[in-house]
């Protein structure tokens, strides 16, 4: 009997090849590594031949896997295009979307503008707060979708991209050599704050709190005025600021995960917007 390919199985296979990793494929798809492994095994059982080789350098397609890969990409494009076209017809309703304001401007505003132009009957509410607050509001159904920072190693949400954290200073102020080092940081529930303080503590650099705020604009104003330096995700750094690194005597910082969290049940408009965000930000994935 001729096998019939399941779209979800093909999606797991393509994600594994793209990331050379079952674990990263699971993060991209919002699934566990064992679940993706099971998908690959089901595909291999259908074809009767191995599709991947797994070794120290990751997971890579076999000769048969390479042949399947091109077909799988075309099938996924056609499938997703059909779904998007059908969802887009008459999409309407309310979408409550949460995002930290430091992500909202550089990352999301162009995507929101494009979506609302294409879907004039959809009412999109944007709620800005820190990641911890947004996830809590999602948990009690006050929001439908949340794009925010997640802890590295967490399997929650759907990984959208990774962004390096960067020390940021004003163009015309040189504060990085001051001791104690003046900092402008978001409030205690900010996901970046512990990374910054741990890195400085590990490097033996004393600090002082020069500015604490909950708004991106406030943090940037404090840095621009020469009150302090701060930490931002690289893709959110606006023009007119200096990116500081080890050459400035500052310790390296880790990457941060940006993930999309969704309510368990979403309407067609919200599902369409979720795909819009995933594809728009995933193309520039760090």
Per-residue pLDDT tens, the chain, 286 aa: give them: 678 899 999 999 999 998 889 988 888 788 889 999 999 999 999 989 999 998 888 899 999 999 999 999 999 988 877 876 776 666 788 999 999 989 987 778 999 999 999 888 899 999 998 888 999 999 999 999 999 998 776 768 888 988 999 999 999 999 999 999 999 999 877 889 999 999 999 999 999 999 999 899 999 999 999 999 999 999 899 999 999 999 999 999 999 999 999 998 888 889 889 988 988 887 444 4
Going along the chain from its start, the domains and CATH numbers come out as: 7-87 (1.10.10.10), 91-159+257-282 (3.40.190.10), 162-256 (3.40.190.10)
Using alpha carbons, select from 285, 286, 170, 175 the residue that is nearest to residue 237. Answer: 170
Say how far apart CA 66 and CA 88 lie, in whole Å.
33
Alpha-carbon 87 to chain mean position: 24
The predicted model scores a pTM of: 0.71
> Do the beta carbons of residue 37 and residue 51 sit within 8 Å?
no
Q: How many CB atoms lie within 10 A of CB 154?
A: 11
DSSP E strand stretches across the chain: 52-55, 58-61, 93-98, 122-127, 145-150, 158-170, 181-186, 207-213, 230-233, 241-244, 255-262
Phi, psi (deg, nearest 5) at residue 50: -70, 145
Using alpha carbons, select from 276, 264, 266, 261 the residue that is nearest to residue 119. Answer: 276
> Do the beta carbons of residue 234 and residue 163 sit within 8 Å?
yes
């Amino acid at each position: 009997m001729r096998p019939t390919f399941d779209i979800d199985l093909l999606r797991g296979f393509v994600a594994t090849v793209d990331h050379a990793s079952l674990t990263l494929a699971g993060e991209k798809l919002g699934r566990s590594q064992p679940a993706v492994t099971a998908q690959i095994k089901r595909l291999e059982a259908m074809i009767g031949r191995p599709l991947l080789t797994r070794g120290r350098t990751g997971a890579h397609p076999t000769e048969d896997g390479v042949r399947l890969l091109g077909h799988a990409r075309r099938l996924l494009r056609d499938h997703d295009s059909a779904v998007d076209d059908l969802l887009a017809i008459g999409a309407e309703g309310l979408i409550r979307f949460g995002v930290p304001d430091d992500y909202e401007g550089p990352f999301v505003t162009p995507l929101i503008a494009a979506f609302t132009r294409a879907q004039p009957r959809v009412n999109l509410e944007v709620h800005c707060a820190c990641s911890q607050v947004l996830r809590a509001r999602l948990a009690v159904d006050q929001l439908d979708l949340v794009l925010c920072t997640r802890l590295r190693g967490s399997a929650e949400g759907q990984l959208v991209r990774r962004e390096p954290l960067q020390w940021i200073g004003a163009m015309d102020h040189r504060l990085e050599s001051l001791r104690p080092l003046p900092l402008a940081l978001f409030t205690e529930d900010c996901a970046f704050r512990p990374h910054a303080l741990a890195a400085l503590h590990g490097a033996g650099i004393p600090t002082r709190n020069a500015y604490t705020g909950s708004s991106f604009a406030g943090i940037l104003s404090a840095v621009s005025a020469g009150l302090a330096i701060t930490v931002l995700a690289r893709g959110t750094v606006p023009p007119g600021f200096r990116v500081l690194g080890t050459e400035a005597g500052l310790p390296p910082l880790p990457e941060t995960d940006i993930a999309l969290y969704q309510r368990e049940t979403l309407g067609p408009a919200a599902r369409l917007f979720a795909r819009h965000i995933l594809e728009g930000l995933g193309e520039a994935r760090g």
